[in-house]
Amino acid sequence: MKPSAAQEEKPPAAQAQPSAAQEAQPPNQEAKPPASSPLWDTFEPTLVPVSRPDHALDPHLGQTYGGYQLLRLIGTGSFSRVYLAEHVVQGTRAAVKLAEQTVMSAPALLQRFLGEARTAKAVQHPNIVRIFEISLHEGCQPYFVMEYLDGETLEAACARGPMKTEQISRIGLQLCSGLAAAHLAGIVHRDLKPENIFLIHDGERLVVKIVDFGIARREQLDEDEVRTVAGTVLGTPLYMSPEQASGLSVDGRSDIYSVGVILFQMATGRLPFQHDSLGEMFHAHANTPPPPPRSVNPTVHGELEAIILKCLEKKPDDRYRTMADLGRALAALLE
């Protein structure tokens, strides 16, 4: 393109003479930005390219929620999805849980989703998953950001068979510690099961993390609520206390019963009651005495068996009074 007349006639700009300070500056040294231009004025967060075969099938991948970019789907449930995510500024990793579309159109399910995050956030304890943020994406999709748990579920560990007494006691102690903190805050979990317990190896140390407080904080569950919310069981019948299954008022001793079922499973490699129908399972928890753990696995420690059977008493008054009491009984096995 030919320059215009105005451009042709314009005289070259006079070059300013360098100051003494500039002449003294060593060669090839970049000039520092002026103090009036902070670093954040020019900072641009870098998004991680997300190119996966399933990207086209999952529009959430690559999006950012609360500053965290979704990298990979790591878990799904009936009403939510969990993604591994990375903060675009800090570079730290977290898990982001998104509510499915069905949750947003059902007030009861939405309350359960948000209640899970609010309840866990209310109890700050090393054995309870940390919640960093609860919010709405673009003003409509509920989500929350929590710590990323790089380990395995207790469910996966139980699938490998019975555990040794020391391992059971150490896991049980941390489980009791986290639940004791929740109970002191007036929170009953009501859905304890190995799937909701994570085992993380921090060097040589094993750390237990309790997740999913979705049906916690509710003072009482009537029979219809126990059996179904939008077609799903509220609570898990395999681990549910007799009083919860019957729609009676529950307190921390209901969680103690559920812990007893989990301890039984860790010690024997199976559940105390195994039935196909929901009604039969509820009836067994309410009326059938559990088999002694040593009748299933003869290597179970006698004192551990006594602890498990006390947790599984049908009447709440016959169980341990508090999680702290149960924790002390488990601690005695390590002495």
What pLDDT, on a 0 to 100 scale, did the predictor assign at position 123?
87
**What residues contact 307, with CB distance under 8 A and at least 6 apart?**
263, 326, 329, 330, 333
Decide if pLDDT at 312 tops 90: yes
Which of 112-116, 176-180, 279-283 is predicted least confidently? 112-116
| Catalytic residue set | 191
What pLDDT, on a 0 to 100 scale, did the predictor assign at position 95?
94
Separation of alpha carbons 175 and 271, rounded Å:
18
What pLDDT, on a 0 to 100 scale, did the predictor assign at position 11?
47
What pLDDT, on a 0 to 100 scale, did the predictor assign at position 298?
97
Which of 79-88, 222-231, 241-250, 261-270 is predicted least confidently? 222-231
Provide the pLDDT confidence category of residue 56 given band limits of 50, 70 and 90: low
Mapped onto helix, strand or coil, the DSSP state of residue 130 is: coil
Yes or no: say if 225 and 244 are a contact pair by the CB < 8 Å rule.
no
What pLDDT, on a 0 to 100 scale, did the predictor assign at position 276?
81
Provide the pLDDT confidence category of residue 329 given band limits of 50, 70 and 90: very high
For 196, the token pair is: 């909701």
Provide the pLDDT confidence category of residue 47 given band limits of 50, 70 and 90: low
Provide the pLDDT confidence category of residue 249 given band limits of 50, 70 and 90: confident
| Higher per-residue confidence, 92 vs 33 | 92
Decide if pLDDT at 2 tops 90: no
Separation of alpha carbons 214 and 212, rounded Å:
5
Decide if pLDDT at 18 tops 90: no
Yes or no: say if 81 and 65 are a contact pair by the CB < 8 Å rule.
no
- In the chain, pLDDT over 70 holds for what percent of residues? 77
DSSP string across 222-258: -HHHHH-BTTB-SS-GGG--HHHHTT-B--HHHHHHH
Yes or no: say if 307 and 326 are a contact pair by the CB < 8 Å rule.
yes
Provide the pLDDT confidence category of residue 102 given band limits of 50, 70 and 90: confident
Mean pLDDT of the residues in the chain: 81
Provide the pLDDT confidence category of residue 114 given band limits of 50, 70 and 90: confident
Angle of the 252-268 helix axis to the 302-311 helix axis, nearest 10: 140
What pLDDT, on a 0 to 100 scale, did the predictor assign at position 235?
58
Q: Can you list the positions of beta strands (E) in the chain?
A: 64-65, 68-76, 80-87, 93-99, 131-137, 141-146, 152-153, 197-202, 205-210
Classify strands 93-99 and 141-146 as parallel, antiparallel or unpaired.
antiparallel
Mean pLDDT computed over 225-230: 36
Mean pLDDT computed over 153-168: 96
What pLDDT, on a 0 to 100 scale, did the predictor assign at position 21?
46
Domains in the chain (CATH in brackets) are 64-146 (3.30.200.20), 152-332 (1.10.510.10)
CA angle 102, 219, 285 (to 5 degrees): 85
The DSSP letter of residue 117 is H
